[in-house]
């Protein structure tokens, strides 16, 4: 038994130390509500007859990514949400107007034949057919725009160019003609160039417009949220204060009410904090304001597991059992209660995570991690510490456990 106990001490020490190392070396990633930034939720709106498959969504995300990269934000993210939605997050952005403008541009690019009288024919292709556009230079060093079509687009493009040699192919953005190069020859293979009297600047702008505007499907902005950095800083400061005060009050209560075990519970609480933050770090979770509330709440629940155990130990002591036997029995009897009560909480957090959106998800993640960490600390760390103290100081007085002597 002694040997098994040694192993357990070593195991706990390794867990706590690595958690501490993890927490110290890598800062927790903060959500937009804490550090400020812009959040945009878009929904793809396919036109009649247009299919909204994975490929179209993939292309939409690609285009949005390109637009976002154009803003030069580090740590930006573009993520698919559900079947037809895309979430864009731009941390630290101050010019929200520009960001929303850039991302939200619903421009739909269309290829149409321009008739001699300037009127436009029917839509032959949409921006979905365009893979990418870039500035290149011809033999004489004049800027031009080279482009590449998708596999599907290339076939259609070859057909269109073959049938319309000599005519002008207009590229429109939301109905406005951006450029209307003359078709000089059939363009097979999906690669071509648009020449014209472009300045380098114009060529660059048109290319990026083609890139940015090449939405394969219309996307509508459903939701935008932007948080200024000031508000974020305030939120962090306030939740830090709240956290410290909450933990301080709980710590005092535990020592007053449970004496030695209370002290042990407080040490376990520190370990709980380290493990929770390390786990958040490990999974690269983002800490949001509701997330912080989730952590503070799980502190309350972490204490609960200890309270259940200590109450059991006190009961055993009142029966007149020895301290060591009471500790063993207390942990054993408390185990199923802790499991049952925490599993129901985990059921709820799982639902919150599955069905919830942004902030609710954040709360669910931290509460889940908090509940799991609290179970681990209460069952393993509290036990190791409590047995350790009891053995080390040869404790045999029930009064140290908050039990009044008979």
Partner 1 sequence: MKIKIIENRKKFFTFSTILVVLALSALVFKGVNYGLDFTGGNLIQVKFEKTMELKELNPILNEISKEIPQLDNNSRKVQVSDDNVVIVRTPEMSEDVKNNFMKTLEEKAGKYDLLRSDKVGASVGEELKSTAIIALLVGLILIVGYITIRFEFKFALAAVLALFHDVIIAVGGIALLGYEVNTPFIAAVLTILGYSINDTIVVFDRIREVLKKKKVSTLGEAVDLSVNQTLTRSINTSFTTFLAVLAILIFGGASLKVFITTLLIGVLIGTYSSIFLASPVIYLLDKDEKLSDIGHN
Contact between 355 and partner 1 (CB under 8 A)? yes
User: Cα–Cα distance between 27 and 368 in angstroms, integer?
Assistant: 20
DSSP assignment of 302-331? HHHHHHHHHHHHHHHHHTT--HHHHHHHHH
Q: Other C-beta atoms within 10 Å of 350: how many? A: 12
Contact between 93 and partner 1 (CB under 8 A)? no
CB of 249 to partner 1, least distance (A): 4
Residue whose CB is less far from partner 1, 65 or 341:
341
Q: Other C-beta atoms within 10 Å of 158: how many? A: 17
Could you tell me if 402 and 257 are in contact, meaning their C-beta atoms sit under 8 angstroms apart? yes
- Segment contacting partner 1 (CB under 8 A): 55-63, 68-76, 176-184, 341-349? 341-349
Residue whose CB is less far from partner 1, 180 or 307:
307
Closest CA to 386 of 210, 217, 261: 261
Which residues within the stretch 207-226 sit at the binding site for partner 1 (CB under 8 A)? 220-226
Contact between 341 and partner 1 (CB under 8 A)? yes
Rule CB under 8 A: choose which of 13, 200, 245, 391 binds partner 1: 245
Instruction: Count the residues of the shown chain that bind partner 1, applying the rule CB under 8 A.
Output: 69
User: Cα–Cα distance between 67 and 61 in angstroms, integer?
Assistant: 10
Q: Give, in order, the Cα–Cα distances in Å from 370 to each of 143, 194, 400.
A: 58, 58, 29
Residue whose CB is less far from partner 1, 298 or 390:
298
Contact between 357 and partner 1 (CB under 8 A)? yes
User: Cα–Cα distance between 390 and 239 in angstroms, integer?
Assistant: 36
Rule CB under 8 A: choose which of 92, 181, 196, 359 binds partner 1: 359
Closest CA to 137 of 79, 69, 233, 207: 207
Residue whose CB is less far from partner 1, 349 or 390:
349
Could you tell me if 339 and 286 are in contact, meaning their C-beta atoms sit under 8 angstroms apart? no
Binding site for partner 1 (CB under 8 A): 33, 41, 96-97, 100-101, 104, 220-228, 230-231, 234-235, 238-239, 241-243, 245-246, 249-250, 253-254, 257, 289-290, 293, 296-297, 299-301, 303-304, 307-308, 311, 315, 333, 336-337, 340-345, 347-349, 351-352, 355-360, 363-364, 367
């Amino acid at each position: 038994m002694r040997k098994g106990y040694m192993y357990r001490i070593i195991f706990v020490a390794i867990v706590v130390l690595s958690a501490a190392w993890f927490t110290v070396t890598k800062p927790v990633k903060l959500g937009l509500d804490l550090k400020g930034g812009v959040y945009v939720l878009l929904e793809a709106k396919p036109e009649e007859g247009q299919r909204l498959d994975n490929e179209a969504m993939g292309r939409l995300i690609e285009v949005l990514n390109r637009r976002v990269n154009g803003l030069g934000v580090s740590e930006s993210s573009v993520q698919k949400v559900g079947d037809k939605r895309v979430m864009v997050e731009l941390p630290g952005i101050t010019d929200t107007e520009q960001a929303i403008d850039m991302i939200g541009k619903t421009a739909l690019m269309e290829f149409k034949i321009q008739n001699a009288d300037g009127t436009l024919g029917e839509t032959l292709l949409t921006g979905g057919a365009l893979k990418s556009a870039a500035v290149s230079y011809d033999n004489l060093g004049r800027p031009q725009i080279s482009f590449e079509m998708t596999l599907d687009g290339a076939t259609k493009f070859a057909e269109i160019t073959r049938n319309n040699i000599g005519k002008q192919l207009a590229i429109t953005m939301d109905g406005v003609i951006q450029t209307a190069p003359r078709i000089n020859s059939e363009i097979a293979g999906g690669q071509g160039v648009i020449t014209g009297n472009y300045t380098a600047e114009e060529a660059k702008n048109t290319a990026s417009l083609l890139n940015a505007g090449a939405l394969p499907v219309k996307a509508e902005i459903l939701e935008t949220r932007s948080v200024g950095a000031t508000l974020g800083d305030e939120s962090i400061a306030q939740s830090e204060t709240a956290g410290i005060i909450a933990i301080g009050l709980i710590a005092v209560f535990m020592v007053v009410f449970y004496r030695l075990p209370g002290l042990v519970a407080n040490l376990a609480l520190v370990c709980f904090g380290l493990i929770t933050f390390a786990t958040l770090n490990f999974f690269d979770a983002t800490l949001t304001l509701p997330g912080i509330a989730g952590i503070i709440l799980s502190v309350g629940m972490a204490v609960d597991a200890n309270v259940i155990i200590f109450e059991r130990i006190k009961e055993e002591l009142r029966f007149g059992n020895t301290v060591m036997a009471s500790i063993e029995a207390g942990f054993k009897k408390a185990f199923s209660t802790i499991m049952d009560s925490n599993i129901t909480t985990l059921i709820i957090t799982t639902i919150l995570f599955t069905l919830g959106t942004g902030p609710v998800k954040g709360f669910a993640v931290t509460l889940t991690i908090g509940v799991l960490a609290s179970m681990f600390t209460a069952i393993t760390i509290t036990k190791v510490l409590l047995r350790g103290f009891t053995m080390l100081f040869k404790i045999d007085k029930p009064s140290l456990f908050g039990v009044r002597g008979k």
